[in-house]
Structure 1
Amino acid sequence: MSQRCDSVAGRDEVRDALDVHLSLLLWELGFLPMPMASAINDHGEYLEALMPDAVVLSGGNDIGQTPERDCLETALLIHAAACRLPVLGICRGMQMINHHQGGDLRPVSGHVAVRHRVSGSLVGTTGREVNSYHDQGVLDADLGNDLEAKAWSDDGAVEALRHRNWPWLGIMWHPERDSPVTEADQRLIRRHLGGTALSISKGAHS
Structure 2
Amino acid sequence: MSARPLVGVTASARGGRWMWWANRIAIWRAGGQARRITVDDPGPPDDIDALLVGGGDDIDAELYGLDLRLGLRIDKERDRLELDRLERAHARGLPVLGVCRGAQILNVFRGGTLHPDIYEAYGRLPPQRTVLPRKRITIVEDSRLYRVMGLRRCRVNSLHHQSIDKLGQDLRAVARDKYRIVQGIDCESGQFVLGVQWHPEFVPLNSHHQALYKALVRSA
Give me the TM-score of the superposition, normalised by structure 1: 0.79
Say whether 1:99 aligns with 2:116. no
2:219 maps to 1:188: no
Which residue of structure 1 aligns with residue 55 of structure 2? 59
Secondary structure of 1:34's counterpart equals strand
Structure 2 counterpart of 1:146 = 170
RMSD: 2.1
C-alpha separation in 2, matches of 1:145 and 1:62: 21
What does residue 22 of structure 2 align with?
A: 21
Deviations 1:120-153 (A, max 9, x none): 22346640111010001124xx111111111111
Q: Does 1:174 find its partner at 2:202?
A: no
Does residue 112 in structure 1 map to residue 129 in structure 2? Answer: yes
Inter-CA distance 89–173: structure 2 relative to 1 (3 Å threshold): same
| Equivalent residue, structure 2, for 1:9 | none
2:185 aligned to 153, 161, 182, which one?
Answer: 161
Q: Tell me which stretches of 4 or more aligned residues in structure 1 moved more than 3 Å.
A: 15-18, 123-126
* Sequence identity percentage: 30
1:91 positional shift = 0.1
| Inter-partner Cα distance in structure 1 for 2:105 and 2:169 | 13
Partner of 1:3 in structure 2? Answer: 11
| Residue in structure 1 matched with residue 80 of structure 2 by the alignment | 71
Q: Is the contact made by 1:147 and 1:163 (CA closer than 8 Å) also made in structure 2?
A: yes
What count of residue pairs does the alignment treat as equivalent? 180
Which 5+ residue runs of structure 2 have no aligned equivalent?
1-8, 61-73, 120-126
Shift of 1:40: 5.5
Q: Is the 8 A contact 1:5 1:66 kept in 2?
A: no
Distance in 1 of aligned mates of 2:151 and 2:49: 32
For the 8 Å contact 1:131–1:173, the answer to whether it is kept is yes
Aligned residues of 1:4 and 1:18 also touching (Cα < 8 A)? no
Amino acid at match of 1:24: I
Aligned partners of 2:101, 2:55: CA distance in 1, in Å? Answer: 5
Question: Separation in 1 of the partners of 2:57 and 2:78?
Answer: 9
> Which segments of 5 or more consecutive residues in structure 1 lack a partner in the other structure?
7-14, 197-206
